[in-house]
Each structure stands twice: as structure tokens, then as C-alpha cells.
Chain A
Amino acid sequence: MGILSKHVGIKFGSPAVRVLNDISVEIKDGEFVSLSGRSGAGKSTLLYVLSSLDNPTEGSVEISGQDITKMNSIDLHRFRNEQMGFVFQFHYLIAELTSIQNVLMPAMKCKRDVELRPRAMELLEKFGLKEKHDRYPRQLSGGEQQRLAIARALIMKPKYLFADEPTGALDTVNAESVMKILQECSTQDKMTVIMVTHDPDFAAMAPRKIVLADGKIISDNATNPS
């Protein structure tokens, strides 16, 4: 089923500035896609529209066959909680919670935090944070914070992982570590991963590369484009 956008456009402000223009793209389940382009190309905006965080002013977006632009707020938030994971350039961890509590935040929404606690510990172990499960975000390094944010995104075993410049604030070593995790999500867990990056090397690590300019797709190496 995957993600299907049909003639998506988005305009901001007054006078209106068109940020996305007639984007139609299909991303199949399990694909690892990079969105790249220069600043202002619309890559982050496309990611937010595809992930339901932003609403297009034109067109529609279907995820797993459901038009998310027409979903009511409660269904949409449940859908996000159960099926989507998010990683941002800045980790957006909650400073008042420990590592394990941050990882379990999505599970707390659906009252599955007790059930998913072992999985949270597994993820922390996998990302080298098991010993720091009771530490607060301020007690972790930048790379550890971003890995913790990825663990939080993966706790609910989402079908879709959206990453907006996940390596943007990291040094090379940590950035490569994060990229390796994202690749594993796609290859091992068969997750659909959509990643925005301005780094051509990291973009090249994704099998499918979409390049945007001025709100339009100018290049898509998909083998089976829609």
C-alpha cells in the first residue's frame, strides 16, 4: 500500500508563496527513500505533508490506503502513534524524563508502557544506551541523544519512519552511526524510511533518491515510478 501523494501543493503566508507544486509520488512499503535538495527546495515540507504533520493546501496523501488529509483528529493521532515514528534534526527529548521514560512516551499514550518496557530496554541496549537508561537527556552526548530519539521513534514498531535531517547536528562518527540504524530499520525491520538530508553522501545511502528544487521533484531514481 505505502504512501501515495496525488498532486500535492502547499502555499504559505500572505502573499502566498508556493512551497510545493503538484507533487505526485508513491513510496512503497519497505522502501528507504532520501529527499534531498538545496535549502528552500521543499524537502522538509514534503516530509511533513507525507507524515501528516502538515496539511497540503492542494491534493491528497494516502497512507496504507487511507486519505490522511480527511482523517479526524483523534484517528489521525492514533494512526501517528501506532504507525509512524519521527526523528528530527534536534532530538526533542523531554528534559524532565529519563532515557527509558522518553523511549516509552509513545507507549504511554496507548497505555502499553508496562508491556513495551522490555522492548525499550532492548532498543537502548541495541543503541548502546542500556547503562544510561535512568539518565536524563542533559546527561547524554549529542550522538546518544539522537540515538535515544530514534529508539523512541521505534518503540511502537512503526510501519513508517520519517527522519528530518537526523544527522544535521551530529559529528561524522555519530552521523554514520545514525545512518546505519536507519538502514537497519529498512533492511532488517522492513520499515518504510523517508529521510530528508542535504548531505549527498548520506542521501546516496538510500536505495531511492528523490531530489527537489523549487517545490518540484526534479529527479527520482525509482525503478517503478507511479
Chain B
Amino acid sequence: MIFLAIRYLLERKRQTLLTLLGVFFGTLAFVAVSGFFKGFQGFLVQQLVNNAAQVHIEIRQDYLSDHVLDVPFFSNDLVHAFWNPPPAGVKGYLDIQNPQAWYNRLNADPRVEAYSPTMTAAALFNVGLISVAANLIGCNPNQQAKVTTIADYMIAGKFTDIAFGGNRVILGDELMKRLGAGMQQNILVSVGTNSAVPFKVVGRFYTGSRGLDLQAFAALNDVQRVNKTPNYVNEIGVRLKSYLDADALARSWAHLGPERVESWGDQNLNIQSVFAIQNALRLSMIMTVLIVAGFGIYNILNMTVNQKRQDIAILRALGYDTFDVVMLFFAQGMIVGVCGTVLGLGSGYLFCRWLQSLSFMLATPSNPQGHLHISLDWVIYVQATGLALLSAAIASVLPARAAGKLTPIDIIRQGG
């Protein structure tokens, strides 16, 4: 039957080509649009996953609510308490209570690749008469470089230069510009009401994000000393062997101490909801294209069944059964579907490669040429194949079944 199905298709070249183009463009659109959206999402996820820790163990600081002191003061029997003024403020700790327990736990967990304890302090940076407020992050640079990609963004000096201690600091590009500071220059850093301490600028980084570039890094001990909080750590950043484990690990670790534990996903829920909307839009748009392609196949096959009633009659008289007749028309739809899908996948791949070579985005340190991020994930190609073939199969089976139900005698009596 395949032989005859191919002959039918070749005999109606223009109709076959038009139907095939429907599947072709549907598949191509699927690959290209999915590649674009998934590439964009992947780029953002990689930025979030790589640039910062994947799990954050942070100090917990809860705001006091109006009735948080009702029970401690008046027991459970109280109907309602009126506070004037109501309780306000923050309840919590300034540092991680038992960092050593966390270090032991993280060292023992095989899913953890690296971790980095940090002490972040709100500092005032001074150069002459210029003062700029910014975060000063104290860390062990060797550990921090394993947890984040900050070392890759250095444009002057090395991130590990702060490891030697002695009040060395690495400034973000934006902070450096605002201070008007230069390399190897001494600047003054003060935290809270503590007196200013001189730091030597030994490095400069540029991430492209103004918020991040308005930060400074120094050795953990130096920051603890400036802040007058020796041995304090207010965050432990964790890098995992697989970032996909982050949500589950954060949930299980959250019960192990008073600290707040969040995954990179928890901290970027808004972005994930945007991704969900993007995916819904992408799939609905592409499904529409493929349904239209399916209607093309359905219409052409329906017309063919009507035009080939005499052939159906004689095939049945020659001994071809219902299954053969169904296959004759189903095969036509599927041949068009398979050819359109294969061509669409190939062209979609080439189109994606071409898009990858275009410079649409602003150049960043991680993407100096500003190329578009297009995903070539094999899952896209499997999904495109599955949906295109499913669309072709559904569109083919209906007219094919109708053809299979035709009896030779009815066709002959109706004069073909």
C-alpha cells in the first residue's frame, strides 16, 4: 500500500507540496521558537545558577507582627489585645548560630560541591571627600570562587589577591567609578559607628549588573574585624553538583537549624513564573500552527478519498481488506507528516544555528559578542517530532477510517 500511497502523492504534486509545507513550517516554527525561548530561559537560569550560590543559608530575621506578643503576655485565654503602640522591630540573630555544624554537614554531604561562608556588612567607602554606601562582603576567596563565578568577572587583579589579608579590597566597577578610585589606592571603609579603616584596592570586577558592580569583596577576617564581629558569618553559599537538587535540599535543610535556607529557585520565583507563562504561550502558539498543518492534511486526504472512490471499490474487489484501504490513506498522511517533520527539524536546526551567529544582545563579560542564546536541546526536537507526527496521525486517521468503511458495492451502485 505504501507504493500506491507514494504514487498518489506524486500524482498530486502541488497538493502534496502545500500539505508538506504546512507540516514543515509548523515543525520549523516549533524548533525555532522553542530554541529561542528555551535558550533565553537557559541563559537566565545559568546566570542565576552560576553567578550566585545555588543554596543560601542565611540568618533569619522575622519582622514582628501586631499580635506576636499576645500569647506570651496574656496566655491563650485572651480574646483580643489592643497594643499602643503595637510591637514592632525584627526578631532574629545577627549571625549564623552554629556555623561549624553547617560546615560539618556540608562537608559530609556528597551532593555538595563547595560552600563559602560570608559576612556581609553595609559599609561606607570614602576617597577624599567622596563617600559611597555599598555592601562589603567578607569571604574566603578560594571558596567563594568555587561557589560563584565572581572570579571570572575580574577585569583587574585576581580575586584571590584578597586572600593574603592585610585589608585588601576588590571593588565593583560601578563602585570604583563612583569613588573615582584607582588600583593600588588606599580607601577608607567604615561600618556602622566604627572608625574608618584603610583598605588597599587590589582588584576590580565587572559583571554588567549595576547592583552587583556596586559591591566590594575583602577577606572574611578583615570584614569581621572592621565590623567588630569576630567569627561572625551571616550567610553560607552552597554550590551543588547538580543545581536541580537545590529545591529539595533547601527544603530538607530548612528544618536543621534556625537559619533560613533558600534555593536559587526560591529567590527567583518571579522569574520562574515568567518562564511558566512563556512556556504556555510558546506551546499554545506552536500547537496552533501544527493544528492548522493537521487540518491541511485532513482536507487534502478527505478530498483524495472522495476522488478515489473507484479505486477503493476495485481494491476491495481485488481482495484488499479494510485495513489495506485505511493504510493506503493513513500512509499518505504519515508520509507527508514524516517528510515535513524531517525537513522542518533539519531546517529548524540550521535556522537556530544561524540565529546563534547573530549579535542581537548587548555584549556582556560572559557573552562578549552579544550573540543570541538559542537552545539546541534534543528535547525540543523530540517534542517537535512527537507533536508534528501526532498532528499528522490524527489528521490522517479520520479520512482513512472513512475510506475503510466504504464498501465496493455502494461505490459501484453510486457510479463511483
**Chain A residues with a Cβ under 8 A of chain B:** 48, 53-54, 73-74, 77-82, 84, 86, 88, 90, 92-97, 105-106, 108-110, 152, 164
Contact = CB atoms under 8 A, between A and B. Distances in A.
A68 B408 CA distance: 16
A105 B319 CA distance: 10
Interface string B130-161: 00000000000000000000000000000000
Q: Which of B316, B320, B322 has the most CB of A within 10 A?
A: B320
Given A54-B409, A97-B4, A92 B322 contact: no
Interface in B59-112: none
Contact of B318 (A48, A54, A79, A106): A106
A116 B160 CA distance: 84
Given A53-B408, A92-B310, A109-B324, A86 B4 contact: no
Contacts of B412: 48, 53, 88, 164
21 contacts: A48-B412, A53-B316, A53-B317, A53-B408, A53-B409, A74-B321, A77-B321, A80-B319, A81-B318, A81-B319, A86-B314, A90-B310, A92-B416, A95-B11, A96-B7, A96-B11, A105-B315, A106-B318, A108-B3, A109-B319, A109-B320
Interface of B: 3-4, 7-8, 10-11, 310-311, 313-322, 324, 408-409, 412, 416
Contacts of A79: 319
Given A81-B319, A86-B318, A92-B311, 11 more contacts: A48-B412, A73-B321, A73-B322, A77-B316, A80-B318, A80-B319, A86-B317, A92-B416, A94-B4, A94-B311, A97-B7
B313 A92 contact: yes
A53 B10 CA distance: 31
Contacts of B316: 53, 77
Contacts of B319: 77-82, 84, 106, 109-110
A48 B408 CA distance: 10
Contacts of B314: 86, 88, 92-94
A90 B317 CA distance: 14
B322 A96 contact: no
A158 B322 CA distance: 22
Q: Which of B7, B311, B314 has most A Cβ within 10 Å? A: B314
B409 A48 contact: yes
Contacts of A73: 321-322
Contacts of B322: 73
Nearest to B3: A108
Contacts of A81: 318-320
A106 B319 CA distance: 7
Nearest to A79: B319
Contacts of A93: 314
B154 to A, nearest CB: 70
Nearest to B314: A92
Contacts of A105: 315, 318
A95 to B, nearest CB: 7
A74 B319 CA distance: 9
